[in-house]
Amino acid sequence: MSHLFEPLKLRDITLKNRIGIPPMCQYSATDGMAGEWHFIHYGSRAIGGAGLMILEATAVTAAGRISPGDLGLWNDEQIEPLAKIARLAREQGCVPAIQLAHAGRKASVGLGWGEQRTLRADEGGWQAVAPSAVSFGEGYAQPHELSVAEIAEVVTAFVAAAKRAIVAGFQAIEIHAAHGYLLHQFLSPLSNQRTDAYGGSFDNRTRLLREVVSAVRAVWPENLPLLIRLSATDWMEGGWSADETVALCRGLKALGVDLADISTAGLVPTAKIPAGPGFQTEFAARVRNEAGLPAAAVGLITSAVQADHIVRTGQADMVLIGREILRNPYWPLLAAQELRQVGVWPNQYLRAAPSGSVGR
C-alpha cells in the first residue's frame, strides 16, 4: 500500500490520507466575508480527494489583514459563509481547517497579483503594527510598535476567532506564525528589536506565540487538532533558524500543538531562497524526528511518487500540495491512480473515473 494513502489520526480526527491542501490566499473577500469565488474554489478542491483542506489566512482583526481582499473572523457575520465551506468539505470526507492570522507589518497592501506596497489612506489603507517600528522593505510604511497592552489584545483576538471557527464547524485550526507575518515577526531578531519581555532572548521572542497557542488551545475543543505553520528559517544570517524551530516545536508539542506545517522565509524581501523540488522537506524532517512533533512538508512537491517517498521515508507525516492543486483540483484522485490505489470518486464523476475506482 502507498504510504501517501494511509490514514492519519490527529486527536479524534482521522484524515483519510496524507494529502493536504495548504492555505493559499485568494484575495477575493469583501469586508472579510467569503463569497462565490471561495465557495467554488474550495468546493472543487474538497471533492478532489485530499484528506485535509486548510483555508487561507483568515484575519483575526480587520487591521490584521494582508490586503482588503483577505478573509476574516473578527465578527460574527463572517461565520456563516465560512460554515458553508466547512459543511461542504465534511460532506466530501475532507477535513476542513482554517488558518488564523495577523499580518503585522505586512498588512495594508494591494491584492496578491497587484503592486506590493503599503496602501495609502485614500486607497483604503490602514496602519500596520509590528513588534518593532521596522518596515518590511521598500514601499512599505513604518509600522506602529505594539505596546504590551496591545499585544494582549492580539492574543484575545486569536481566541475570539477560534471560538467563531468552532461555531463555523471547522475540525482543525492552524495558527499562522510563518512567512513574515506578525507572530513570525516576533520570533525573528531581524524584525523584533524589543528590549522588554517580548524581545531579545529565545524565550522572550517566542513568548507571544506560546501565549497565543496556550490561549487558543484552552478554548479549542480537546478532541480537535491544533496546527501551527512555521517558517523554519529566514534564510538570512542573524535571522530565525532551523535549530530554533526545532526547540520551539518541542515546547509547542507540550502546549498541545498536534502538527507543524513547515515552510520557510517571508520575513525579509532580500532573502536568497534555494528553491527546488522538495527544498523545505528537510526542515519538516527535523521537526518530526528531533522535536517529536508530527510535521507536514510543503514546497514544490508536485508528483505522486515524490509525495509518497516523503511520507514513506519518514521525512514528514503528510504533504501539502499547493500549486499543483491550484492547477488541478483532482490531483489526489489522479495520484491514487498513479500509485495503484483505489480512488474514491464523487458519485457524480464516477463515469469518468479510472477502472477500479469507487464512488462516495
pLDDT, one tens digit per residue, over 28-59 is: 999 999 999 999 999 999 999 999 999 999 99
Domain boundaries, position 316: 3-353
Could you give the 3-state DSSP secondary structure of residue 285? helix
Confidence of residue 129 (pLDDT cuts 50, 70, 90): very high
Question: Which triple of cell numbers denotes residue 251?
Answer: 515546547
d(CA 228, CA 183): 11
Asked if the structure places residue 102 within a domain, the reply is yes
Asked if the structure places residue 319 within a domain, the reply is yes
Asked if the structure places residue 75 within a domain, the reply is yes
Asked if the structure places residue 360 within a domain, the reply is no
Q: What pLDDT, on the 0 to 100 scale, is given for residue 139?
A: 95
Asked if the structure places residue 329 within a domain, the reply is yes
Q: What pLDDT, on the 0 to 100 scale, is given for residue 1?
A: 66
pLDDT over 80 at 6, yes or no: yes
Confidence of residue 342 (pLDDT cuts 50, 70, 90): confident
Residue percentage of the chain with pLDDT more than 70? 100
Q: What pLDDT, on the 0 to 100 scale, is given for residue 233?
A: 98
Q: What pLDDT, on the 0 to 100 scale, is given for residue 356?
A: 82
Phi, psi dihedrals of residue 78, rounded to the nearest 5° = -80, -5
Could you give the 3-state DSSP secondary structure of residue 57? strand
| Beta-carbon contacts of residue 237 (< 8 Å; ≥ 6 apart) | none
Q: What pLDDT, on the 0 to 100 scale, is given for residue 355?
A: 83
pLDDT over 90 at 226, yes or no: yes
Q: What pLDDT, on the 0 to 100 scale, is given for residue 266?
A: 97
- The angle formed by the CA atoms of residues 79, 80 and 86, to the nearest 5 degrees, is 90
d(CA 148, CA 154): 10
- Cβ of 303: how many Cβ atoms within 10 Å? 14
d(CA 210, CA 203): 9
Mean pLDDT of 15-31: 98
Cβ atoms of 13 and 171 within 8 Å: the answer is yes
Beta bridge partners of 55: 98
Q: What pLDDT, on the 0 to 100 scale, is given for residue 324?
A: 96
Cβ atoms of 31 and 313 within 8 Å: the answer is no
Catalytic residue among 181, 198, 330, 349: 181
d(CA 240, CA 282): 16
Asked if the structure places residue 322 within a domain, the reply is yes
Distances (CA, A) of 294 to 144, 195, 228, 252, 259: 36, 33, 11, 11, 5
Distances (CA, A) of 280 to 272, 287, 301, 354: 14, 12, 10, 33
d(CA 130, CA 149): 13
Beta bridge partners of 9: 14
Quick check: is 181 catalytic? yes
pLDDT digits (tens, 9 = 90+) for 70-126: 999 999 999 999 999 999 999 999 999 999 999 999 999 999 999 999 999 999 999
pLDDT digits (tens, 9 = 90+) for 282-299: 999 999 999 999 999 999
Indicate the average pLDDT of the chain. 97
Q: What is the pTM of this model?
A: 0.97
d(CA 181, CA 103): 4
Domain count, the chain: 1
Question: Which triple of cell numbers denotes residue 303?
Answer: 508528483
pLDDT digits (tens, 9 = 90+) for 154-197: 999 999 999 999 999 999 999 999 999 999 999 999 999 999 99
- Tell me, what CATH number does 39's domain have? 3.20.20.70
